[in-house]
Amino acid sequence: MGLEIKIPAVGESITEVTIAKWLKADGDTVERDEIIAELESDKATFELPAETAGVLRIKVAEGETIDIGVTIAEIDGDGAAAPKAAPAAAANATDPITKGEENPQASDQAGYGGKPEGGAAATGTTGQAGGGATVEMTIPAVGESITEVTVAKWLKADGDTVERDEIIAELESDKATFELPAEAAGTLRHAAQEGETISIGATIARIEGGSGASAAPKADAPKAAAATAAPATNAAAGTGSNSYATGTPSPAAGKILGEKGINAADVSGTGRDGRITKEDAQNASARPAAPAAAAPKAAPAPAGNSAPAAGTEPTGNRNVRRERMSNLRKTVARRLVTVKNETAMLTTFNEVNMQPIMDLRTKFKDKFKEKNGVGLGFMSFFTKAVCVALQEWPSVNAQIDGTDIVYNDFCDISIAVSAPKGLVVPVIRNAEALSFEGIEKEVVRLATLARDNKLTLEQMTGGTFTLTNGGVFGSMMSTPIINAPQSAILGMHNIIQRPIAENGQVVIRPMMYLALSYDHRIIDGRESVSFLVRVKELLEDPARLLLGV
């Protein structure tokens, strides 16, 4: 019996998939990790890779819908996998990448994260003596709507010895970044490249235990012994700190260097053991070619000719850099287009005289910080004002669910934050019940988590209304897009000294434009304008916020 190929778990809420298309026919010979089928759920389409090399035997027809965990094919590895055993064993001495090749029996026993029993089968093609088991690590479910993740960064290189629960990689979804701990101690073997996007349940790495864990130190033993016995000689030769990774680009870095036409030998690596990282590749620039350096010497030859030659090429930097969209950026793009297409969105504007709030902050900000340990910013005033207005105009705090309107008696305020990897929107829960101090501390806490890419899914979901401050970047006016499934968003802008009429006199005041974008399907013009006017009243007379009037 060959290796059974089962439908992997592709999301917490997905219980069945449809075989959209077989990319390989029954009886075809397939290679390990070659895509053999496309699976389709109610949310996305997934690719199914072969778990070993061999002959494919299809068990389920194209177009059929089946449950997660059901066997859809078998791969008979007797013909295709056997010839690879001898080369794999021979490669162990020199090539650390191919050293962890497993045979079909080992993959069959490991399944999706299982541990094979009986080390002989697991080590039969690695050329190692001993009975260490191989643990196959798969991508765990990280959220109900997340179906795939990207290997953002390997923190441990292929062939490194790792301890159980040691963080070996960072995974990036369209909503957050996660750390992946090792499930066992042993030697790490990568099954996915840095920058590669893989489905939930797919194999990302293997950890060879027992003899596999002890084999790597033996390979490095001669270097360690030589460094101990003759450190001066090694230093002179320049080999004391080198490894196979020195000057080797990661997969993502190699792709960038290839697109730029830059030789990896011309780039200095800052990664582990001198490996060239994605950032090194992005910052690298091509060295000028030798003939270009000789060109100035040849130029003086035509003494009296000062006219430039016809068809002279531009001499400036004309590099073009192409980067793959992150999952976060793809999701933001998809959601924004969906909102524009599926909501009756429009925007109403007003302006606010910020002088009263600025005077109040100037008077009390030092004492406020001394007492509470946090600064008094504008965000707490806007959050408090919005919460009061939302409770007076509940439709602005509502959302559409099918044919129903869901009204919220609480105010969970989403705050748009520009994080290193893109826009994120953490939520301040029950903001209506928080004091100025409580709001400011929550803003600082969530903004810090966003900058460090440590926000969880729970901290970014469930808001009822959003605040976004484009003014910190100098925005004068904008029409913010609703953060679905919410029905409204308030845009803050920069504060500009402008002349206004006040009590029959022209005076200069710090003014800010406010923009409220809303879904006209459930919010009428009366509600939207009245809401924004109420926010303006509360901000221009902040004593109202303290007295509740």
Residue 314 lies in a domain: no
CATH number, residue 490: 3.30.559.10
3-state helix, strand, coil in the chain (%, to 5): 35, 25, 40
> Alpha helix (H) ranges present in 170-240?
211-229, 231-237
What tokens were used for 102?
């497993």
In a domain, 229, yes or no: no
Could you tell me the two tokens for 168?
């070996």
Measured from the Cβ of residue 357, the count of other Cβ atoms closer than 10 Å reads 23
Q: What is the mean pLDDT of residues 509-531?
A: 95
Residue 285 has pLDDT above 80, yes or no: no
Q: Is residue 291 part of a domain?
A: no
Please state, in angstroms and rounded to a whole number, the distance separating the CA atoms of residues 477 and 24.
Answer: 54
Among 227-236, 277-286, 386-395, which stretch is predicted with the lowest mean pLDDT?
A: 227-236
pLDDT value of residue 99: 39
Q: 3-state DSSP call for residue 401?
A: strand
Q: Is 379 a member of any domain? A: yes
Judge if the upstream peptide bond of residue 542 is cis by omega within 30 degrees of 0. no
User: Is residue 435 in some structural domain?
Assistant: yes
HSE (side-chain half, CA atoms, 13 Å) at 174: 18
Average pLDDT over residues 362-373: 91
Q: DSSP label at 470?
A: G
Phi-psi label, residue 259: left if phi above 0, alpha if psi -120 to 50, beta otherwise: alpha
User: Residue 108 contacts by C-beta under 8 Å, 6 or more apart in sequence?
Assistant: 3, 4
**Total domain count, the chain:** 1
Active-site residues, by number, are: 520, 524
Average pLDDT taken over every residue of the chain: 77
**Residue 519, beta-bridge partner list:** 345
The length of the chain, given as a count of residues:
549
**Domain coverage including residue 432:** 329-547
What pLDDT score does 232 carry? 38
Tell me if 529 is assigned to some domain. yes
Enclosing H/E stretch for 372: helix 355-372
524 vs 285, residue with greater confidence: 524
What does pTM read for this prediction?
0.50
* pLDDT band at residue 411 under the 50/70/90 scheme: very high
Residue 144 pLDDT level (bands cut at 50, 70, 90): low
What pLDDT digit, counting tens, does each position of 485-496 carry?
Answer: 999 999 999 999
- pLDDT tens for 202-221 read 899 999 874 344 334 433 43
315 lies in a domain?
A: no
Is 128 or 436 the better-scoring residue by pLDDT? 436
- Would you call 298 helix, strand, or coil by DSSP? helix
pLDDT at 348: 96
Average pLDDT over residues 395-406: 93
Q: Model confidence over 79-108: pLDDT tens digits?
A: 444 343 333 333 343 344 333 344 434 434
pLDDT per position as a tens digit, 301-322: 445 555 555 556 677 888 888 8
> What is the C-alpha separation between 186 and 160, in angstroms, rounded?
8
User: Predicted confidence band at 249 (pLDDT cuts at 50, 70, 90)?
Assistant: confident
Q: Report the DSSP beta bridge partners of residue 343.
A: none
Q: Is residue 345 included in any domain, yes or no?
A: yes
Q: Tokens for 477?
A: 């006016």
